[in-house]
Structures are given as structure tokens and as C-alpha cells.
Amino acid sequence: MNTKPIVAAVAIALGALVLAACDRQEMNAKADRAVAKTEAAADTAARKTGEVVAKIEKTAEEAAITASVKAALVKDPELSALRIDVDTTGSIVTMNGTAPNAAAAKRAENLAIATSGVTAVNNNLTTTGG
């Protein structure tokens, strides 16, 4: 009996199985790399989304502080909210513009520092009178 054809067929079959296993390993490796890239992209997107949300929250907080200071200035009969520019960065309020006198400028500063969320005031108000 000639066993060479049988041995050759078995060798070919084993070779095909080895190649199939290698191909499956390569496919699994590619899938693992794709999953890792997707996870990294998701982590990056989540981090960036968190940063954007934090910026929006900070901007909203600053706008609320500015609005509160402006509302306090409007209530004072000597101060004109239209002549006083209020800017907020973090918890620091900066006021630019004019006040009728030094006492009114100081009152504007006191109103600003008394506003919730304010930790410091840069009072750059100039006076138009005594």
C-alpha cells in the first residue's frame, strides 16, 4: 500500500488547520486592537465632554454673579448700572465705569462683594463729582 498520498493529504489538512488557527488569531488580535482604539476614543470623548460641561458651568456661574451684581447696582438710586460695566472671572468681579462720588463707588464695591459667589472685587470706578 502506498501511504505517501495519505501522508501528503494529512500534511495538507494539518497545514490548512494551522493556517486557519493563525488567521483566527490575527482576526482576534485585530478585533482586540479595534476595541482598544474604540475604548480610547470613548475615554477621550468623555474627557472632552466633561471639560466642555465644566466650562459651560463656569460661564453660567460667572453670568449669574454678573447679573446679581448688576441687579444690586440698579437698586441703588445713586448708581447707574448702565454706567458701570461688570465683568466676572471665576469669583472675581471687576467694575469699570463711573460713579457720582467716592462714597457711591465704595458702595458699589460693597454691593459687589456682598453678592453670593464673589470673593474679590477690582473696583476701577472713576468719580464724576465730589
The answer to whether residue 105 scores a pLDDT higher than 90 is yes
Average pLDDT over residues 33-46: 72
For the stretch 65-73, contacts whose Cβ atoms lie closer than 8 Å and that sit 24 or more positions apart, written own/partner, are 65/91, 65/93, 65/115, 65/116, 65/117, 65/118, 66/93, 68/115, 68/116, 68/117, 69/93, 69/95, 69/111, 69/112, 69/115, 69/118, 72/111, 72/112, 72/114, 72/115, 73/108, 73/111
- What pLDDT does residue 62 have? 92
Residue 10 clears pLDDT 80, i.e. is over it = no
Does position 12 have pLDDT exceeding 80, yes or no? no
Is the pLDDT at 57 greater than 70, yes or no?
A: yes
pLDDT value for 64: 94
